[in-house]
Amino acid sequence: MGNVTASVAARFAFFPPEPASYEVIRRGGSDGEAAGIRIVSGMGGGRGERDAEAHVISTRSGTKVATAFLRHPSAKLTLLYSHGNAADLGQMLELLSELRSHLKLNVMCYDYSGYGASTGKPTEHNTYHDIEAVYDCLKKQYDIRQEDIILYGQSVGSGPTLHLASRLKNLRGVVLHSPILSGIRVLYPIKVTLPFDIFKNIDRIKQVKCPVLVMHGTADEIVDFSHGKRLYELAKEKYDPLWVTGGGHCNLETFPEYIKHLRKFISDMEKLQAERPVYTNASSINETEVKHNKCLRFGKR
């Protein structure tokens, strides 16, 4: 029963778009260094692709994940964005470009193993290794400090987001957008965490030591509103949540309160930069063991 249930939960979690909506442009041929992102199909629309700095990063699972870094000239903070279950990097570029512009920060997004131009298979633990590798890229390639990073997890992306957030003591903040309590809890309203469950956010949220903003739609048809409410209740350092009346699972970005609330959160996190104490040895990571997610432009439903 356990294996069957876990398999069902995993199938809910991962829906890589096929074919991929983009390809990685490389200098000097197919074996050259990644140089950019080219939209080939889907919702990307081409916006933001010219100035997206692409990387293909090796993970400790042995896979290679595709990333895009969007730089803002006056950024004080960087958003590390983990997208939903049925999107890929190309489909996200337009939204990421708008977030960069509206929030005035750098944005790093990546594709999970098995998504888009990333190799391997999408599994729970591969997503953990994926986000760890991307975080290391931000530190080493861009010299971005942990305390200047905000982790953003949408839907199933809340899993890798809370995995990393629970291991880092000096993050500036965390945003959970239509998050899940756990994989099986999306399917069944269980009261206790089962050992074979995936993305056990209900347990990890208690280990996060930075401000947590939770956003959820009250009419979410994929992940019930109760998931966001419970994660907010369990967060140690709560930030004012955003409950979008009538909001669904894939359209929070279309409501004006979404970007307004995010702006306030980013502004407050910038003010914390000079106030928050920094823990020693905080840059290391402790090693342990649907529906199509269309993220629309602001104001379009």
Q: Is residue 56 helix, strand or coil?
A: strand
- Helix, strand and coil content of the chain, in percent to the nearest 5, comes to 35, 20, 50
DSSP assignment letter at 126: H
Name the nearest CA neighbour of 23 among 47, 1, 56, 61: 56
Catalytic site includes residue 136: no
Residue 103 φ then ψ, to 5°: -100, -10
DSSP 209-276: -S-EEEEEETT-SSS-HHHHHHHHHH-SSB---EEETT--SS-GGGSHHHHHHHHHHHHHHHHHTTTS
Q: Omega of the bond prior to 19 within 30 degrees of 0, cis?
A: yes
178 catalytic? Reply is no
Q: Which spans in 82-213 are helix H?
A: 89-103, 124-142, 158-165, 183-187, 201-204
The tokens describing 256, both together, are 């004006």
Query: For residues 249 and 229, what is the distance between their CA atoms, to the nearest angstrom?
Result: 14
Is residue 16 within 8 Å of 122, Cβ to Cβ? yes
Owner of token pair 């916006």:
47
Catalytic residue among 61, 155, 166, 182: 155
Given a contact cutoff of 8 angstroms between Cβ atoms, the answer to whether 41 and 23 are in contact is no
Residue 178: partners with Cβ closer than 8 Å, 6 or more residues away: 84, 154, 155, 158, 215, 216, 217, 220, 222, 223, 228, 249, 252
Active-site residue flag, 74: no
User: Among residues 74, 37, 34, which one has the least CA distance to residue 55?
Assistant: 34
- State the catalytic residue, choosing from 83, 220, 224, 261: 220
Which residue numbers are catalytic?
155, 220, 249
